[in-house]
């Protein structure tokens, strides 16, 4: 195979202001043009998504005076996938006086991202983190508190400071309900038009500017075109390309992929975060994977049998025949090594035939020592709800039998490319939250996605959208404009085509098969050979999809199989781009491990000389080679070092 | 294991529904209830029949999207468990299982097991928030919150808005849902300025949306997957009385 992509011109300007890094966000806010209040009332912004990013953005834009049209595929904005986040949200408040600061959070995030993120953005994120906590407390988010009534924090994901704010194991739920309530207040005030059970199926670009979307009413099947002065995508991540992931079942790439097809560059699609502590697959019926909070690794010890093929019950395996492999390989960090390292180590021991449980795809997470040391009550106080959830799903009691865990796809760092203003390469199209690529580089730190979603939605976007809109007013657009007609016709004919195939395979059967290809070849470990094979397999499967898919029912009703089939069709195209991106990046970095690029002792080997850039891909046609545009990354404040956890 | 399923099928809002019987003979005890329905749907699609429509998303018991009445009980036989977290090991080989949608005047059926719960959103719109414009917030530590209040507010705030309380209530009341939000916000210092207008406005919206009145039967809390206690309704009643009798509400 020749190289499946071509080189394009580099990205010259990210619009980050010059000058000392701690002044850049202030500078940008000052230079941003303002829209006067009377004009805001005449302007409309479409926001797709009601998670932390979209919910907070829609509420804030409405407060500022804009008219907002908001969309989500669930039956209520309160159910966006953000609701499922458990662990917490980072903020550089330094309430503990343990040496935290904005600069340290900035530093940790750039380093944690394995030096593949943009310094200016990350610095801004760290700065805004403190305001987020103030905002959420004012909204009534019931964060955990200490006896003195002040906010409690914990250290999370191997951070050396205690900067993670939390609400039991339901931080995402509480933060999202805060944003949702602010959004409902604006709906009641008539500033937000809420469209739940509506799915965006295309972007409308007129005269080079994003001016609207094509949506399907998921209850009636009606297709409509909706217009605005700017469009914001807050549609979340694309982890479900793997079929099995910790994401909600409906999470999809359609909104961002359709924008990509319309000209928005897609950056670093191969950067996927695989979380080490999830409940293993129990059978072919498995429909999703459940995350067990990372905090379990604070007290649980990870092990597998020393001998391959040892099928004894864990209690029958004597101490001497157990391999506490994380403690053995990484004596300095032990069970607390970062997510990517813990995940790959689990894969390696399972590949050696030493995995636990059905299919040998699991490792033990054992609390026997913790129970002996702290007592059962103390362990229960700390992890009781997690143990209960585990037992509910597996039917096993983790106080008596060690838990079994296995890595699962959890988060996607890649997404639509955005500049410092969170603007994509299509003027008027902004992208926020997990849907963009901006702040986490090649690996995201625990408790930083919630922070980013809310920073984007409450603080960054409301400031930068105004700067764009101040250039208006833009010419009026309507459903009869040729661009709108073309987009709408495209959506309709695709739906007609999906229904017309009437083949013999279900949407889920294709999705599962695509997921298996991605997990095998574009998962925890990637190779040149494997990725090339995956690209060929994906193309074949995509062709088969369009001749054998069976979608029952019609397009004029609630049709969940039709929704699925449309999302899978887009996943196929994304999957190919992910493999191309993974193939071209011959270094290992963060969540991307290339078997060809490792140190003598099997650790990831980054290649700063050739790969210190973000890869932004341009769409040229389905199955056609995409064009690579590089955004060079420069590090003025945090100097690249190789990570070491030994 | 082998199961007989009797499932409510209804084409659309105005369609006339009926129970339809299906059998499945390859159900694994490790499956979740929704995975069992996935298996049924795969088979229905391939045999040219309409798959069963049901709402779900997170499948982790937190988004509140799933919900069915299983053998007459909202979310099925396990206490404090959403439908998506219910596993087939709680059923036995040869069982017959009845599966129906939430039934309530305020939640019209859209199709099969899918209902319209937007009435819940309208209750929140009426006052289920704290007015706190972005960017105007005081420093978070400016107002300490006693831990017991913070913890109790959190307990009430864990409501996932699934609607099981309404489905279980013989009156079709949404009072547990409404009370959970009033308790959450009313226990926090930030929630005080709007405390009394909130309770009156939310109860008005509750009644307008077509929910029935609360007569303290307690079926709601028995099926609540988050165990929201009946005391939250007492809290709501106290606030409502203060607001209306004590003249704290402007009206
Ligand atoms: C199990 C789990 C636990 C996690 N725990 C943590 C944690 O402890 N800390 C942390 O920082 N991060 C955590 N994360 C990550 C974090 O939750 C997410 O990255 C974040 O919530 C994403 O927010 P978002 O607003 O970008 O998107 P989402 O919350 O995913 O929202 C997407 C929105 O877009 C809408 N949408 C999508 N496609 C369309 C379409 N085509 N048309 C219309 N609407 C559409 C959806 O309806 C939804 O409203 C966790 C993730 C998982 C899976
Ligand atoms: S699917 Fe989210 S609670 Fe059941």
At A8-32, the pLDDT tens digits run 999 999 999 999 999 999 999 999 9
Percent of chain A with pLDDT over 70: 100
Q: Which CATH class is domain A275-409?
A: alpha beta
Beta-carbon neighbour count of residue A208 at 10 Å? 10
Beta partners for residue A526, in sequence order: A594
> For A589, phi and psi rounded to 5 degrees?
-155, 140
Using the beta-carbon criterion (under 8 Å), do A506 and B29 form an inter-chain contact?
no
- Nearest-CA neighbor of A278 among A269, A270, A286? A286
At A547-606, the pLDDT tens digits run 999 999 999 999 999 999 999 999 999 999 999 999 999 999 999 999 999 999 888 999
| Structure tokens belonging to residue B53 | 């429509």
Domain B3-110 belongs in CATH node 2.40.440.10: no
At A386-434, the pLDDT tens digits run 899 999 999 999 999 999 999 999 999 999 999 999 999 999 999 999 9
- Tell me if residue A354 is catalytic: no
Fold of A482-613: Methane Monooxygenase Hydroxylase; Chain G, domain 1 (1.20.58)
* Contact predicate B209/B119, CB 8 Å: yes
Instruction: Tally the residues of chain A.
Output: 646
pLDDT of residue A211: 98
Residue A457 touches partner B, C-beta closer than 8 Å: no
Give yes or no for residue A294 having a pLDDT over 90: no
For CA atoms A622, A625, A627, A633, the dihedral sign is positive
> For A387, phi and psi rounded to 5 degrees?
-60, -40
Cis peptide before A473 (omega within 30 of 0): yes
pLDDT of residue A385: 84
Angstrom distance (rounded) from CA B41 to CA B51: 5
CB-CB neighbors (< 8 A) of B101 in chain A: none
H runs (alpha helix) in A48-118: 52-64, 102-112
CB-CB neighbors (< 8 A) of B107 in chain A: none
Using the beta-carbon criterion (under 8 Å), do A144 and B124 form an inter-chain contact?
no
A509: distance to nearest CA of chain B, Å? 9
Query: What SS3 string covers B202-233?
Result: HHHHHHHCCCECCCCCCHHHHHCCCCCCCHHH
H runs (alpha helix) in A352-448: 368-374, 376-394
- Nearest-CA neighbor of A456 among A49, A87, A79? A49
> Which CATH superfamily is B118-132+144-244 part of?
Alpha-helical ferredoxin (1.10.1060.10)
Angstrom distance (rounded) from CA B1 to CA A47: 46
What string of DSSP letters covers A451-485?
A: HHHHIIIIIIHHHHHHHHHTT-PPPP--TTSHHHH
Same fold, B3-110 and B118-132+144-244: no
| Protein residue closest via CA to atom 15 of ligand 1 | A449
Q: What is the mean pLDDT of residues A292-298?
A: 88
What string of DSSP letters covers A255-283?
A: HHHHHHHTT--EE-TT-EEEEEEEPPP-S
pLDDT of residue A298: 87
Domain ranges of chain A: 6-271+413-469, 275-409, 482-613
Torsion-angle region of residue A159: left (phi > 0), alpha (psi -120 to 50) or beta? beta
pLDDT of residue B193: 97
**Ligand 1 within 6 A of A614 CB?**
no
Q: What is the mean pLDDT of residues A250-277?
A: 98
CB environment B65-102: b (16+ within 10 A), e (fewer): bbbbbbeebbbbebeebbbbbbbbeebeeeeebbbbbb
* Contact predicate A132/A89, CB 8 Å: yes
* Contact predicate A363/A406, CB 8 Å: yes
| Structure tokens belonging to residue A168 | 């039991």
Residue A388 touches partner B, C-beta closer than 8 Å: no
- How many inter-chain contacts (A to B, CB under 8 Å) are there? 214
Among the options A339, A404, A542, A606, which is catalytic? A339
Chain B's closest residue to A292, CA to CA, is: B60
Instruction: Tally the residues of chain B.
Output: 251
In eight-state DSSP terms, residue A296 is G
pLDDT of residue B111: 98
H or E segment and range at residue A337: none
Beta carbons within 8 Å of A574's beta carbon, 6+ residues apart: A238, A241, A253, A257, A269
Beta-carbon neighbour count of residue A116 at 10 Å? 29
Give the 3-state secondary structure of residue A141.
Answer: coil
The ligand minimizing its distance to the Cα of A84 is 1
CB-CB neighbors (< 8 A) of A148 in chain B: 144
pLDDT of residue B249: 58
Helix, strand, coil percent content, chain A, rounded in steps of 5: 40, 15, 40
CB-CB neighbors (< 8 A) of B45 in chain A: 506, 550, 552, 561
pLDDT of residue B247: 61
10 Å CB burial of residue A553 (0-12, 13-18, 19+) is middle
- Side-chain-side CA neighbours of A606 within 13 Å: the count stands at 20
Angle (nearest 5°) at CA B75 between B236 and A73? 85
CA of A338 to the centre of ligand 1 (A): 22
* Contact predicate A78/A178, CB 8 Å: no
Q: Give the one of B53, B57, B129 whose C-beta lies nearest to A79's C-beta.
A: B57
What string of DSSP letters covers B151-214?
A: HHHHHHHT-----HHHHH-TT-B-HHHHHHHHHHHHTSGGGSTTHHHHHHHHHHHHHHTTPBPP
Average pLDDT taken over every residue of chain A: 96
Q: Give the one of B45, B132, B139 whose C-beta lies nearest to A506's C-beta.
A: B45
Q: What is the mean pLDDT of residues A448-455?
A: 98
Helix axes A560-584, A528-548, angle to 10 degrees: 160
Angle (nearest 5°) at CA A217 between A214 and A220? 140
- Nearest-CA neighbor of B169 among B202, B212, B208? B212
Among A54, A70, A85, A257, which is best to mutate for testing ligand 1, by the most ligand atoms less than 8 A from CB? A85
H runs (alpha helix) in A331-478: 339-351, 368-374, 376-394, 449-454, 461-469
B45: distance to nearest CA of chain A, Å? 6
Angstrom distance (rounded) from CA B85 to CA B88: 10
Q: What is the mean pLDDT of residues A52-81?
A: 98
Helix axes B195-208, B175-186, angle to 10 degrees: 170
Longest distance between any two alpha carbons in chain A, whole Å? 76
pLDDT of residue B248: 62
Give yes or no for residue A382 having a pLDDT over 90: no
* Contact predicate B126/B209, CB 8 Å: no
* Contact predicate B196/B127, CB 8 Å: no
Domain ranges of chain B: 3-110, 118-132+144-244
Residue A558 touches partner B, C-beta closer than 8 Å: yes
Domain A6-271+413-469 belongs in CATH node 1.20.1260.10: no
Chain A's closest residue to B129, CA to CA, is: A181
* Contact predicate A404/A362, CB 8 Å: yes
Residue numbers in chain B where pLDDT is lower than 70: 246-251
Using the beta-carbon criterion (under 8 Å), do B184 and A392 form an inter-chain contact?
no
pLDDT of residue A1: 54
pLDDT of residue A572: 98
H runs (alpha helix) in A585-623: 608-611
Beta carbons within 8 Å of B237's beta carbon, 6+ residues apart: none
CA of A434 to the centre of ligand 1 (A): 7
> For A523, phi and psi rounded to 5 degrees?
-100, -125
């Amino acid at each position: 195979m020749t190289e499946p992509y071509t080189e394009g011109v580099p990205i010259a300007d990210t619009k980050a202001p010059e000058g000392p890094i701690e002044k850049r966000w202030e500078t940008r806010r000052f230079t941003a043009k303002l829209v006067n209040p009377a004009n805001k009332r005449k302007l409309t912004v479409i926001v797709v998504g009601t998670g932390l990013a979209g919910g907070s953005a829609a509420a804030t834009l409405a407060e500022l005076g804009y008219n907002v049209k908001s969309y989500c595929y669930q039956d209520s904005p309160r159910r966006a996938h953000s609701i499922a986040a458990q662990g917490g949200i980072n903020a550089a408040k330094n309430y503990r006086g343990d040496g935290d600061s904005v600069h340290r959070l900035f530093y940790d995030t750039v380093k944690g991202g394995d030096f593949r993120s943009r310094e200016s953005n990350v610095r801004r994120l760290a700065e805004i983190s403190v305001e987020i906590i103030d905002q959420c407390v004012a909204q009534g988010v019931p964060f955990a508190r200490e006896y003195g009534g002040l906010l409690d924090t914990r250290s999370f994901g191997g951070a050396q400071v205690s900067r993670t704010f939390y609400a039991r194991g339901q931080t995402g739920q509480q933060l999202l309900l805060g944003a949702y309530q602010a959004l409902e207040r604006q709906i009641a005030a008539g500033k937000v038009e809420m469209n739940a059970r509506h799915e965006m199926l295309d972007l409308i670009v007129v005269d080079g500017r994003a001016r609207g979307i094509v949506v399907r009413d998921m209850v009636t099947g009606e297709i409509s075109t909706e217009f605005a002065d700017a469009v914001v995508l807050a549609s979340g991540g694309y982890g479900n390309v793997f079929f099995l992931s910790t994401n909600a079942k409906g999470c999809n790439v359609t909104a961002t992929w359709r924008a990509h097809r319309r000209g928005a560059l897609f950056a670093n699609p191969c950067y996927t975060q695989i979380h080490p502590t999830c409940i293993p697959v129990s059978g072919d019926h498995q429909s999703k994977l459940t995350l067990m909070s990372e905090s379990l690794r604070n007290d649980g010890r990870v092990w597998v049998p020393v001998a391959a093929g040892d099928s004894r019950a864990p209690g029958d395996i004597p101490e001497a025949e157990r391999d506490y492999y994380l403690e053995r390989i990484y004596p300095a960090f032990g069970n607390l090594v970062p997510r990517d390292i813990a995940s790959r180590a689990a894969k390696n021991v399972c590949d050696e035939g030493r995995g636990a449980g059905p299919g040998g795809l699991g490792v033990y997470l054992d609390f026997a020592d913790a129970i002996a040391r702290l007592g059962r009550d103390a362990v229960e106080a700390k992890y009781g709800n997690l143990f209960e959830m585990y037992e509910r799903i597996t039917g096993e009691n983790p106080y008596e039998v060690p838990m079994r865990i296995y890595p699962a796809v959890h988060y996607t760092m890649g997404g639509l490319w955005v500049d410092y203003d969170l603007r994509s390469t299509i003027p008027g199209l902004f992208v926020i939250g997990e849907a963009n690529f901006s702040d986490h580089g090649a690996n995201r730190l625990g408790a930083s996605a919630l922070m980013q979603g809310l920073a984007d939605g409450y603080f960054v976007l409301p400031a930068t959208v105004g700067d764009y809109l101040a250039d208006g007013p833009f010419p009026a657009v309507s459903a009869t404009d040729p661009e709108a007609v073309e987009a709408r016709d495209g959506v309709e004919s695709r739906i007609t085509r999906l229904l017309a195939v009437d083949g013999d395979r279900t949407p889920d059967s294709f999705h599962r098969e695509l997921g298996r290809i991605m997990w095998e070849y574009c998962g925890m470990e990637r190779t040149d050979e494997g990725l090339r094979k995956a690209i060929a397999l994906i193309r074949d499967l995509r062709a088969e999809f369009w001749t054998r898919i069976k979608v029952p029912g019609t397009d004029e009703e609630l049709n969940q199989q039709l929704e699925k089939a449309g999302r899978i069709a887009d996943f196929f195209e994304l999957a190919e781009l992910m493999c191309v991106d993974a193939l071209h990046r011959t270094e290992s970095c963060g969540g991307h491990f290339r078997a060809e690029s490792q140190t003598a002792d099997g650790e990831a080997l980054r290649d700063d000389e050739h790969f210190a850039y973000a890869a932004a891909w341009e769409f040229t046609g389905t199955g056609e080679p995409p064009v690579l545009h590089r955004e060079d990354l420069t590090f003025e404040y945090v100097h690249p070092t190789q990570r070491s956890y030994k | 294991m082998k199961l007989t399923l009797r499932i409510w099928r209804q084409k659309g809002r105005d369609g006339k529904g009926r129970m339809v019987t299906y059998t499945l003979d390859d159900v694994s005890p490790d499956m979740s209830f929704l995975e069992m329905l996935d298996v049924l749907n795969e088979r229905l699609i391939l045999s040219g029949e309409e798959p069963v429509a049901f709402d779900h998303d997170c499948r982790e018991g937190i988004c509140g999207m799933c919900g069915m009445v299983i053998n007459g009980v909202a979310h099925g036989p396990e206490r404090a468990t959403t439908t998506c977290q219910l596993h087939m090991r709680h059923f036995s080989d040869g069982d017959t299982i009845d599966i129906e949608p939430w039934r309530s005047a305020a939640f019209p059926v859209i199709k099969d097991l899918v209902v319209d719960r937007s009435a819940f959103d309208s209750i929140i719109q009426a006052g289920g928030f704290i007015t706190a414009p972005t960017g105007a917030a005081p420093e978070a530590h400016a107002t300490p919150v006693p831990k017991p209040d913070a913890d109790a507010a959190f307990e009430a705030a864990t409501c996932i808005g699934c609607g099981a309380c309404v489905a279980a209530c013989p009156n079709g009341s949404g009072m547990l849902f409404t009370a959970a939000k009033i308790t959450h916000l009313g226990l926090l210092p930030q929630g005080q300025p709007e405390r009394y207008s909130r309770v009156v406005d939310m109860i008005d919206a509750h009644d307008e949306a077509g929910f029935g009145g609360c007569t303290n039967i307690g079926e709601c809390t028995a099926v609540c997957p988050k165990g929201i206690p009946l005391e939250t309704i007492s809290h709501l009643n106290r606030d409502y009385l203060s607001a209306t009798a004590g003249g704290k509400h402007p009206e």
